[in-house]
């Protein structure tokens, strides 16, 4: 029997293989199918280009090398500071 799961974005049922893993959800799968998640992510990046660029820049930092005092690879306060420093 093929298991399916409902995707609220697509408003349709898809095979569970179309969903990514999410340990925090009850069934262990993401709420949206992979295609819908990609569409939502692209829409968010288009709507928030500065924030997306700052998150990507922070993600690419090497903890301890680029910022020795950084305890984790990034945090939201750091991202807000990056955005503010780029404002003209």
Among 33, 31, 30, which Cα is nearest to 22's? 30
Q: What is the pLDDT of residues 52-67, one digit of tens each?
A: 888 887 777 655 555 5
What is the pTM assigned to this prediction? 0.63
Structure tokens at 50: 């500065």
Indicate the pairing of strand 29-33 with strand 19-21.
antiparallel
Helix (H, G, I), strand (E, B) or coil at 63: strand
Q: CA–CA separation, 43 vs 32, rounded Å? A: 14
Q: What is the pLDDT of residues 12-48, one digit of tens each?
A: 999 999 999 998 989 899 999 999 999 999 999 999 9
**Ramachandran class of 14: left when φ > 0, alpha when ψ lies in -120 to 50, beta otherwise:** beta
């Amino acid at each position: 029997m093929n298991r399916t799961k409902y995707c609220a974005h697509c408003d349709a049922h898809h095979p569970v293989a179309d969903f990514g893993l999410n340990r925090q959800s009850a069934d262990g799968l993401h709420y949206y199918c992979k295609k819908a998640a990609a569409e939502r992510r692209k829409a968010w990046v288009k709507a928030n280009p500065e924030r997306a660029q700052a998150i990507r820049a922070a993600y690419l930092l090497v903890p301890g090398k680029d910022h020795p005092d950084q305890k984790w690879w990034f945090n939201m306060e750091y991202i807000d500071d990056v955005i503010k420093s780029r404002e003209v």
